[in-house]
Structure 1
Amino acid sequence: MAIIISTNGKKTVKVDKSAFDKEDHLQKYIYENPESIPLYEIKEDIRLLILAREFPTNSGPIDAIGIDQYGELYIVETKLYRNPDKRIVISQALDYDAVLWKHSKDFNEFLGVLDQHTQQVFGLRTTEKIKNFFGLSDEEVTATIDKARNNLNNGIFHFVVLMDKLDDRLKDLILYVNQNSQFDIYAVELEYYKHEKHEIIIPKIFGAEVKKDLGTKSLNKKYWDWNSFKQRLSEFGKEEVLVAEQILNWANKNNIEVDWSTSQRGGFFLCFYTKNDKGFYPFSVSGDARLGWNAPHQGNKSPSPFDKLENRAEILKRLSSIEGAIVDLNNVDGFNGLKLPLRVLADENARLKFFSVCSWIKETLEVEK
C-alpha cells in the first residue's frame, strides 16, 4: 500500500510503505510517542504514560510498562512480522501477566523498580511523573496508585502487542481470549511511511471491538475491618496477627487515627495529625504481613516539618535501631526505604522502639506551628 502526499494540492508524491528495521527502533518510537497506540478506540479519554522500557522480569525484559489516568496497567510488546516469535504472543502475554502478578506480594518493590526508570528518564519518582503527566491532585494520584495496586493484586493487565503486520490466526486467537476471559489483549498494526524528514504512522487496533460482560467483582473495592484483616494475616502466622493487634491497640490508646485500606490486599494506615488537622501517614500495616513505608506518597507535600527530606530521613534513622529492620537512607522517598516484616516486631524491645518513633512523630507534629 502507498500513500500520496501533496503540498497545497500540488507536487504530489507517492510514498510506499516502509519497514521498521529493528524492534528496538519500534520500541523507542512508541516509548517517545505513546499516543501512537490508539487506546482512544477502547475508551475515548485514555492517555497512556510509558513508565519503563525493558522492565526486568524472571521471564525476560518486558518491552514497556505503562499506566493510564485510571490506574490501568499496560504491558507493551513489539513484534516485527518477520520475527517468528509472533506465534507465541498469547503465551508470552500470560507469562508476563503471571510474573508481574508476583509483584503483588510487595507493591512497594514494584514501585521501586519503576522509580529507578522514571528517575533516570524524567528525573521524577513514579508518583510525581503520574501527577504531572495527567495533571492530578494529590488525592487523585493516591487513588490512581491504589487502583494500580488492586489491578496488580488481581493480575489485571492490558497486553498490547505492536506489529508491522497482523495475520488472521492471531486475530482469531485474540478475539477468543478477549471474549472468554478477563484478560485483555490488543494487537496494533502499524503502517510506517518515511518521506524526507517526516515519519508517518497509521495505527489500527484489533481486539477493542469485543465488549465483555464478565462482571466486575474483582475490580470492586474491599472494605476491611479487624476481623477480616485478622483472617488475612492468619495465613502468615499467629505472630503477625498479634503484632498487628498490638499496633492497633497502641494507636487507639495514643489517639493515633487508623484508616483502613480498600485494596484487595488489605491493611491499615497510621495517620498522625497536626493542630490544623493535616494528616501525615508514614506507615501502613499491609496484608502481606509487612510494615510499609508510605511517606513517599506525600513527599515534600507532607505536613511540616516532614515536608523536608532530612526530617523524613530522620524517621528512617530512628527505625534503623530496630534489629531486623532494613533501612535505605539513600532511598528516603522511595518505597523501598524501609523493609520491616511484622514478625520482627514480635520482639518486645523492637516493638517498643517502633512505638517510640511513632510517639516522636506525634509530638513533633503537635508542637509544630
Structure 2
Amino acid sequence: MAGVKVAGIDCGTNSIRLMIATVDDRGMHVEVPRIMRVVRLGQDVDKTHRFDDAALARTYAAIDEFAEVLAEHPVDALRFVATSATRDAENRDEFEDAVFARLGVRPDVIPGSEEAALSFLGATSVMEAGHTADELPQAPYTVIDLGGGSTEMVIGGDGKDAPIDRVTAAFSMNIGSVRMSERHLVSDPPTDEEIRAAVEDIDEHIDEAFSHVPAWHTGTLIGVSGTVTTMSGIALGLKEYDREAVDGARIGFDEACETCDRVLTMTREQRREYPVIHPGRIDVIGGGALVWNRVLRRIGQAVLEREGRVLDSYITSEHGLLDGIVLDLGRRLLG
C-alpha cells in the first residue's frame, strides 16, 4: 500500500518538536529527523495562567523555522499538538491565531488523556524492533511521559485479556520539570524545605494517578521525554548526549534515583558542566529529576507491595508523543 507523508509538531511546556515521516502499512519511516527547540512556552504559566510575551516570541521563532522546513518538504497533512501549558493559558487564542497564520493549521489543544494515549502509541510502536515474539519485554507496558507541565502515566494490555499495544488506563498529572521548578525549587541549589514541599506535591498527584492506573501490574516500565533521556544519559556516564546510546537503554532504579538526587542538589553552574544536559534544561532539570525519582520509587514500591514482584529497572525511549502524533495521523489518512 502506498504511504502518506505527514508531519507532526509537539508543542510542550518546555520544548517544541517537528518530525516528518512517511506512514504505510509497514509502519513509520522518518523523512526529516525530529528537530527540537527549547522555547519555554510555559514560562510562569503555572503562576499567571497566561503566556509570557517573551515566551511567545521564542516559540514563534521556532515555528517560523519549522515553516521553512515544511516548505522544503511538502506533506499530505500536518498536525500541530499543544499540551499542558496551552491547556492552562487564558490567552491561548492569541497563540492559536499566530500558529494558523504561520502554518495554515490551528493547534489541537489535546486533553491529558489523549496526550497519554499518543505517548503510549509512540513509545510502544518500536518495542518489537529487534525482538522476536518470545524476546519481547514483559507486558503490560507502563509508559511515563514526563513533560514540562504534566506527566502522563499510561498502562496497556497484558497480551492475554487485551493486546499489549492497547491502552487500558491512563492519567495525566499536573506535575513536570518546569511546573515543579517554578512552584517549589526556586533556590540555587534548592533547599531541603523546598524539596520536601515538592515531594509532597508530587506524591499527592501520584496517589491520584494510582486511583486511575493500576501501575502495580507493570511488567515493563518505559520512560520518555527530555528529563528521562537526560537522566539516563547521565546514569550511563555519557560525555555528551548520544541519542542512539540512550534509546532502548535499560537503567536500574537505584542508579537512576541516585542520579536524580545528584542532579537535583546541584547548582545551576554545576549542571552546566554536564554536556548531556541541554542548556535550555539547566534551570528546570532538577524539578524533572525529582518527579522521575518519585515515580520510580512509588511504582517499584507498588509492584512489590501489591504483587510481591520486584520491578527494578526501566527502558529509556526516544519515541513518545511526537512519534504517536505522526503515526496516528498517518494511519487515519490511510483509513
Judge same fold: TM > 0.5, yes or no.
no
TM class by smaller structure: under 0.3
Larger Rg: 1
TM-score by length of 1: 0.23
